[in-house]
Homo-oligomer: A and B are copies of this chain.
Amino acid sequence: MKRKPSTEATAAWIRLMRVQSRVLDAVEQELKKAGFPPLAWYDALLELSRAPTGEMRPVELEKQMLIPQYSTSRLIDRLVDEGLAARRECKIDKRGQFVEITETGREMQKKMWSAYSAAIEKHVGSKLSDTDAVKLCGLLDRLGCSCDETAVLAVKDGVAAR
């Protein structure tokens, strides 16, 4: 039997998988309990709300969120169904479209951020000093393949998780 990875590396792998899954579950549960939609919706609403004009091309959204095309397409469907966003035709490129966040969508994003930020604080912030959080970031960043433009883009009104 091979034994390529050190026990230390293997232990880190296991922790990474388990802890992430527990923490994510915990946060998602809190959102759900508070009657909010899943995190992915929040991420999309946040991106849309940040767009200067309040609207984006799906392709754009897709690149920001780093999710596959079909996934974007369906996420938009759901947002539209719930009145949180609206599709607008794109006159310059008839294949395309624009997705615009609605007023309801903006409100939802803000309300979600209250619950979301509280959950982050509860499940991460309160368990780690700021300096430890920084250390953790540093170590994790080294695992992120050719990591991360988006870097320390934590802002006043929200963060995108995925």
Contact = CB atoms under 8 A, between A and B. Distances in A.
Contacts of A22: 143-145
Query: How many copies of the chain does the oligomer comprise?
Result: 2
A140 interface: yes
Contacts of A26: 145
Interface in A17-32: 17-24, 26
A9 B120 contact: yes
A12 B29 CA distance: 19
Interface of A is mostly: helix
B17 A24 contact: yes
A9 B139 contact: no
A125 interface: yes
22 contacts: A1-B157, A6-B125, A7-B154, A8-B131, A8-B133, A8-B137, A9-B128, A11-B134, A12-B128, A12-B137, A13-B124, A14-B161, A16-B136, A16-B140, A17-B20, A18-B144, A18-B148, A19-B143, A19-B147, A23-B143, A135-B139, A136-B136
Given A4-B118, A5-B117, A22-B143, 13 more contacts: A1-B110, A9-B133, A11-B133, A13-B124, A14-B159, A14-B160, A15-B140, A16-B19, A16-B20, A18-B161, A19-B140, A128-B139, A128-B143
